[in-house]
Amino acid sequence: KQNILIFVRNVWYFITKYREQHEKKVIHSIKFGTSLVLVSLLYLLDPLFKHVGESVVWALMTVVLIYDFFAGATLSKGLLRGIGTILGGGSGCLVALLAEDFGKNGYTAVIGTSVFVSGAVATYCRMIPSIKRKYDYGIMIFILTFSLVAVAGLRADKILELARQRLVTIGMGIAVCIITNLLIFPMWAGDELHTLTSLRFNKLASCIEECMEAYSSVRDNKGHLSININGCKSVLNSKSNDESLANFARWEPWHGKYGFSYPWDKYLQIGELLREVTSMIMPLQACITAPLQTSTTVHQPIKETCIKAGLSLGLTMRELGDSILNMRRVKEKVLIFPELQSIKLELTILPNLELQATENVEALAIANMLFILIEIVAKVKVLAKEVGELGEIADFESK
Amino acid sequence: KQNILIFVRNVWYFITKYREQHEKKVIHSIKFGTSLVLVSLLYLLDPLFKHVGESVVWALMTVVLIYDFFAGATLSKGLLRGIGTILGGGSGCLVALLAEDFGKNGYTAVIGTSVFVSGAVATYCRMIPSIKRKYDYGIMIFILTFSLVAVAGLRADKILELARQRLVTIGMGIAVCIITNLLIFPMWAGDELHTLTSLRFNKLASCIEECMEAYSSVRDNKGHLSININGCKSVLNSKSNDESLANFARWEPWHGKYGFSYPWDKYLQIGELLREVTSMIMPLQACITAPLQTSTTVHQPIKETCIKAGLSLGLTMRELGDSILNMRRVKEKVLIFPELQSIKLELTILPNLELQATENVEALAIANMLFILIEIVAKVKVLAKEVGELGEIADFESK
């Protein structure tokens, strides 16, 4: 009966999650379409067109290039685009003006050289990981604008007028993007990171509980022993996604529950710890489903303690996840640690009583499981401490 | 003394690796600068400029946007850009021609609607993971070109002439990129994936050997027991990088040792298995460095067998890695399997003889180590099979 309940809960979770994701994607698509139309109107309506002229293509291009799902991503790309354009355009103008003194052929040579050097240096910078992570887009725009302006300087009669028009239209494009993206149903990368992190605690809790359930029913039904480890694997592969979310989240202004300088780095640390816990849960599953486990017969005390430990770990993980999700301090902090401690003690004392009685292959599997559980308990303690610190830094409610 | 040797080897490896990476980056930067200058010449030199006109900005933009470090990435972006431009431009022209029948206001309405719909649909498609992975860039270019052409249709007198000029310049940009990127010191994503995968075998082999070394010196020196797990962690986080490399590698034409339809997917499968092996090595390290291990005293037979197993695993891993790196069939295939098998047998028999004699906390740690070693042996067997299959599919030398 409990299995059915869990199954129904999972299906329900899946549906709501899918609808939610779906809904967000549809909203994002509509928002993008809207900003594209708003910018197109600059071109389509005569009174607006008079002010900006042909440069309006730059506004369209800006919208297509910088519009992103997350508010933080759009904001950072918009700002980098603005800064890159101004710097690139400014230095392009300077080089073009300087080069004019060298005559026709000299001009070509100077511009060619400067384009080559700036392109090569900027590309090299783009390959340095720490710069790439933060300023990749800005540098690309810098090279683009610089070479466009420097190269076009020769043939443009009114270079300053052209530059002004382009800057204005790019600014308009950025403004449209930021307004539609941040003011209409904004999708915050910070929210996503926050929810994902807290959901991962639940995923791991389910994994541990599932393992223990499989272990307790190990004699009853052999075919049943397939533990779903996809949840765990997705946690293991979460690093790059987390990092980009945290990167965007840092750009997001004050919104909802998060103040300025919200400690997003702490989420990355917690994510790292979660991956470490996961890398301990994977062998736990391996050990329960291993063929060595086949001849499990009695050792009721070990089984009971293991199951108790699993349930307790699951509870603690859920508690920590809820604490993050609802942004309140870890409840009954005093209660969690001693409980984990006593389980650890129980686990370490157990083998003395029981292991001698069992056969050697089983003994291995059982001992392994006990050891891994102890390790997981230790990791979860570190995790609880880290979540507690997050609560302090981010000033969670202490109810 | 052996430690110094390992240290020197690591430093040397680091320097050569760094210089190699460095060199590639410098070459890439120079290549990029060169193609930027080549395209700029279209604008700077009068005879060339007459043919293409102002549209030359599109060539510059093409170079900046599609030039990438890997040949496969540049090729795929170039082709997607070409296809996206043609499709987007074509449908943009169609819509603009159809809309002309509706009068001035009708035109604005029709164009606005079509831009909105196409923008929203294309953005939605870009968020579907399987499409995003392969065609993201092409769809972006499609939206951009479609809206530019549809919107500009109203005011451009000679829309076909404009379209022709742009297509020609974009084609030139793509041609310059592909020529400089593929013909001058090309960096193949396939090569990178190939080398990275085989190096990972060595990394894991070093990890296992280091663990065993630490285990064998466990009594001599307590402070020494810090095992460097960064190599392992980098393997664990390799998934997304591998996937993008494989994605680029599929676009790369026949080159060097790789024929057409080289089985890059197999590399992803091997990568997945390597990550699974790594997730077993991590707890091995945890168990060796755990405080439980402190009171290790005698059990020489267990120690010897473990160390033998570790060395044997390390050798096998290196052998597999070399097999991939040098593209020859796994050497002495018959020899590897029986050896691993006998070790497995030895490991399973051991606890019977020894475990009873030891104290309970140690017993846990030792049993755990044995169990994990058995699991790793099983995984490595699967891995060896997979590498063997790769050798067959990719037709490695069978010398």
With 80 as the cut, is the pLDDT of residue B203 above it? yes
* Interchain contact, B112 vs A60, CB within 8 Å: no
User: Which 220-259 residues of chain B touch chain A by CB within 8 A?
Assistant: 236-237, 239-240
Q: Check whether A42 has a pLDDT greater than 70.
A: yes
Torsion of CA A280, A283, A285, A286, to 10 degrees: 170
Distance from C-alpha of A9 to C-alpha of A122, rounded to nearest angstrom:
52
User: Is the confidence at residue B268, as pLDDT, over 80?
Assistant: yes
pLDDT tier at A338, thresholds 50, 70, 90: low
| DSSP label at residue B332 | T
Q: Which chain A residues are within 8 Å of B121, Cβ to Cβ?
A: 29
pLDDT digits over B106-135, tens only? 888 888 899 999 999 999 888 888 888 888
Residue A367: its pLDDT value, please? 67
> What percent of chain B is modeled with pLDDT above 90?
5
Res. B297: pLDDT tops 70: no
3-state SS, residue B107? helix
Of A268-277, B12-21, B149-158, B321-330, the least confident? B149-158
Higher-confidence residue of B182 and B228: namely B182
* pLDDT score recorded for residue A295: 45
**CA A191-A197-A201 angle, 5° bins:** 140
Q: CA of B33: which chain A residue's CA is closest? A: A116
Listed in sequence order, the residues at least 6 apart from A14 whose beta carbon sits closer than 8 Å to its beta carbon are none
B39 pLDDT higher than 80: yes
Tell me the pLDDT band of A298, cut-offs 50, 70 and 90.
Answer: very low
Find which of A15-24, A310-319, B196-205, B363-372 is predicted with most confidence, using mean pLDDT: B196-205
CA distance B213 to B94: 71
- The lowest-confidence range among A129-133, A239-243, B286-290, B376-380 is B286-290
Least confident of A117-131, A278-292, A360-374, B106-120: A360-374
Percent of chain A with pLDDT over 70: 81
Q: Is the pLDDT of residue A243 over 60?
A: yes
Q: Is the pLDDT of residue A214 over 60?
A: yes
Q: Is it the case that residue A187 has pLDDT exceeding 80? A: yes
Q: How far is CA B219 from the centre of its chain?
A: 41
A300, pLDDT greater than 70: no
Which residues have a Cβ under 8 Å from the Cβ of B63 and sit 6 or more positions away? B32, B35, B36, B39, B173, B176, B177
Q: Is B280 on the interface with A (CB under 8 A)?
A: yes
Residue of B nearest to A371 (CA): B364
pLDDT higher for B76 or B154? Answer: B76
In A, which residues are within 8 Å of B351 by CB distance?
360-361, 363-364
At residue A346, the pLDDT reads 65
CB neighbour list of residue A348: distance below 8 Å, 6 or more residues apart: A374, B360, B361, B364
Q: Does B29 contact chain A (CB < 8 Å)? A: yes
Residue-level length of chain B? 399
In residues, how long is chain A? Answer: 399
User: What are the phi and psi torsion angles at B290 (to 5°)?
Assistant: -65, 150
SS3 B69: coil
Opening angle at CA B242, ends B236 and B243, nearest 5: 120
A380 touches A316 (CB < 8 A): yes
Q: Which residues contact A8 (CB under 8 A, 6 or more apart)?
A: none
- pLDDT at position B242 over 80: yes
pLDDT for the residue numbered B226: 63
CA dist., res. B8 & res. B12, Å (int): 6
- pLDDT at position B353 is 47
For A363, the closest of B236, B240, B351 (CB atoms) is B351
Q: Answer yes or no: are the C-beta atoms of A64 and B140 closer than 8 Å.
A: yes
Mean per-residue pLDDT, B82-99: 87
Task: Assign B341 a pLDDT band (cuts: 50, 70, 90).
Answer: low
Which of A58-72, A381-395, B297-311 has the least mean pLDDT? Answer: B297-311
Query: What is the rounded CA–CA span in Å between residue A362 and residue A355?
Result: 9
Gyration radius of chain B over CA positions: 29
What is the 8-class DSSP label of residue B330? P
State how far the Cα of B71 lies from the Cα of B196, in Å rounded to an integer: 17
Q: How far apart are CA B328 and CA B395, in angstroms?
A: 8
- Distance, CA of B43 to CA of B57 (rounded, Å): 8
Task: Give phi and psi for A223, each to the nearest 5.
Answer: -65, -15
How many whole angstroms separate alpha carbon B241 and alpha carbon B234? 11
Q: What is the mean pLDDT of residues B199-220?
A: 78
Which residues of chain A make contact with B275, given a CB cutoff of 8 A? 236
Q: For every residue of chain A, which 3-state class applies, written as one string? A: CHHHHHHHHHHHHHHHHHHHHHHHHHHHHHHHHHHHHHHHHHHHCHHHHHHHHHHHHHHHHHHHHHCCCCHHHHHHHHHHHHHHHHHHHHHHHHHHHHHHHHHHHHHHHHHHHHHHHHHHHHHHHHCCHHHHHHHHHHHHHHHHHHHHHHHHCCCCCCHHHHHHHHHHHHHHHHHHHHHHHHHCCCCCHHHHHHHHHHHHHHHHHHHHHHHHHHHHCCCCCCCCCCCCCHHHHHHHCCHHHHHHHHHHHCCCCCECCECCCCCHHHHHHHHHHHHHHHHHHHHHHHHHHCHHHHHCCCCHHHHHHHHHHHHHHHHHHHHHHHHHHCCECCCCHHHHHHHHHHHHHHHHHHHHHHHHHCCHHHHHHHHHHHHHHHHHHHHHHHHHHHHHHHHHHCCCECC
Restricting to A residues 70-99, those with a Cβ less than 8 Å away from any Cβ of B are none
pLDDT of residue A167: 84
Which of B56, B112, B370 has its CB closest to that of A40? B112
d(CA A392, CA B8): 45
Among residues B315, B324, B73, the alpha carbon closest in space to that of B195 is found at B324
What's the rounded mean pLDDT across residues A20-44? Answer: 85
pLDDT tens, residue by residue, A345-388? 666 655 554 545 445 555 666 667 777 787 788 888 888 888 88
Distance to chain A for B331, nearest Cα, Å? 30
Q: Please, which pLDDT band fits residue B225 given cuts at 50, 70 and 90?
A: low
Burial track A380-395 (b if 16+ CB lie within 10 A, e otherwise) = bbebbebbbebbeebe
CB contact under 8 A, A367 and B372: no
Nearest one of A134, A197, A146, A206 to A323, comparing CA atoms:
A197
Give this complex's ipTM. 0.79
Sign of CA dihedral A120, A123, A127, A129: positive
pLDDT score, position A139:
92
**Chain A residues closer than 8 Å to B67 by CB:** 123
Task: Determine, for residues A351 and B360 on separate chains, whether the beta-carbon distance falls below 8 Å.
Answer: yes
Give the pLDDT mean for A233-261: 83
pLDDT at res. A366:
67
Whole-number pLDDT of residue A117: 92
**Are the CB atoms for A122 and A94 separated by under 8 Å?**
no
Q: What is the mean pLDDT of chain A?
A: 79
CB within 8 A of B26, min separation 6: which ones?
A: A124
Q: Which residue has the higher pLDDT, A179 or A101?
A: A179
CA distance A124 to chain B (A): 6
The pLDDT tens digits of the residues spanning B350-394 come to 555 454 544 555 556 666 777 778 778 888 888 888 888 888 887
Q: Indicate the average pLDDT of chain B.
A: 79
DSSP 8-state class, residue B70: S
- Look up the pTM and report it: 0.80
Using CA coordinates, name the residue in chain A closest to B62: A144
Q: Spell out the residues 6+ positions from residue A164 whose beta carbon is closer than 8 angstroms to its own.
A: none
- From A89-93, B217-221, B299-303, B394-398, the region with the lowest mean pLDDT: B217-221
Q: Are residues B351 and A368, on separate chains, in Cβ contact within 8 Å?
A: no
What is the average per-residue pLDDT within A67-89? 90
Contact by Cβ (8 Å): B146, B118: yes
Lowest average pLDDT, out of A179-188, A301-310, B168-177, goes to: A301-310
B246 near B133, Cβ under 8 Å?
no
**B105 shares contact with chain A (CB less than 8 Å):** no
Q: Specify the DSSP class assigned to residue B358.
A: S
Confidence at residue B218, expressed as pLDDT on a 0 to 100 scale: 58
